[in-house]
Structure 1
Amino acid sequence: MSSIVNHKGGGPLAPLIDTHIHLDSYPEDIGLAIAADLANSEVQSVISVSMNLPSCKRNLELARLYNGGIRPAFGYHPEQPLPSATEIQELLQWMEVHSEEMVAVGEVGLPYYTRLEAATRGEAWDDQPYVELLETFIAFAAKHKKPVILHAVYEDAEMACDLLERYSHPLAHFHWFKGAEKTLQRMAEQGYYISFTPDIVYEEEIRRIALGYPEHLVMSETDGPWPFEGPFTGQTTHPRMTSSVASAWAELRGIPLLQARKQLYDNAARLYGI
């Protein structure tokens, strides 16, 4: 692990890792500029998650272009229409061929927000096909001993935990998690990781979670290009914002920034083999 000295006390600060970003979803010129600027932003690496097969292919291209700085995860984001059986098979076959180049399976999960929108419109909804697709991805991750990056919030996290436990797969990362205390306790007992976005600076629900979740199971992320509010209003989301995540988490937990950054780095490095 390389160190960065810019702490007011003069000690070495651990570099930053953005464990969840959609780098391929930025306008191309902005995405490339962010990738090229990582080293100047104290960011050692990012985990760039995928939306679908074209997204997977683009993230692989970026990873090859910026060797080591960008680590790709392959999957199918659940907050979109279900892929056809043919599309699922094509994606899984492609992932199999490129399994050695992917750092994780993701982003995968369950469509919490899409389901809410359907309910608001009075539409019927069937979760089962999404559950079956998530199980397929978790089985793939277990087979290849890869972490699985999960979009599974509130009650959906319980189903994700059921599937992870069914496959005895402990390498799970619940990104930008929101949910009940009992769900958080279950996740912690199983050793599942969660990550905080820049809204840890101003969002009370996230700050509450950050106060209680075990220190050895937390990481930083941005979920860029998703925009943030508070002090980040109007800014393009950049991996360097994980510095603000680390500072806010350190303050919440009452630990030195030096220790906080090292903990967040070590946790990500442990899960993702960085």
Structure 2
Amino acid sequence: MTAPLSIAFIGLGVMGGPMTGHLARAGHRVTAFNRSEKRAAHWQKTWAEEGLDIAFAKTPAEAALEADIVFVCVGNDDDLHAVTLDDDGVLTAMRSGSLLADHTTVSAKMARHLAKEAEARGIDALDAPVSGGEAGAVNGQLAIMCGGRDRAMERARNVMDCYAKSIVHVGPSGAGQTAKMANQMCIAGVLGGLSEAIRLAKAAGLDLDKTYEAISGGAAQSWQMDNRWRTMTADEFDFGFAIDWMRKDLGYALDEAKRLGLSSPVTALVDQFYADVQAAGGGRQDTSALITRLAKGSPTKTGIQADTQG
């Protein structure tokens, strides 16, 4: 436990809300801001019932006024720009020597730009996207991949520990976001294979529970298999990490790969499949709903057959 600090947390979504609560339970003095008043009221009520004393600000700048560290967890590049660099953004109020740590999954370009703007004001910056989903945030078991200077990393590490399972300093500014892109590409590829495997087992008339038992103890085992096999076989997708957000993340990954001169055909194909699920109204479903797109003989928008054998 680090000494109690004055902390601002901007963004009380399914991730940011639980993370803010963990900071208060760890003894820090926390001020929160959320753009949606309805969601802010929900968390205010929830924390009051728990006995947590968390203040609320009317703007990001107001939340950041006295903060030693400002954490941000919003939606995308534009959202992050709005709460940090706009007229009432946190950088207008943060004092020299404070720290800005961003948990939003954004582009590496945005992370580097924000770090440059912060450092010009004498503020340390860290891009620190997370993996682990809502359950990881609630249970304090997030994996955090970080980019920034050593000094920023060490200042943030002990504070973030209250909601982290692992914290890794990957490299300079933008490196945390690039690592998160790699994370999302891995998940997309695994879910593609898992979806096709479940379809094969179903079509062959196998007992799906026994099939899972048989293959999950070997080299095919993965987090997605252990946590999504049964829900995918039961056609249950109304939970978890939304396809809308996964497509945003994969877009960043594909853009960065293109910038680096790389081809990413597997990621691009899965992204196309997710676009079809969105078009069918499944954008808020869990990423495992990819299996609904891989129905027998269903074409992608480019005409590629998901099932080449019909």
Q: Which bin holds the TM-score, normalised by the shorter protein?
A: 0.3 to 0.5
Q: Which has the larger radius of gyration?
A: 2
Give the number of the structure with larger relative contact order, counting CA–CA contacts within 8 Å between residues 6 or more apart.
1
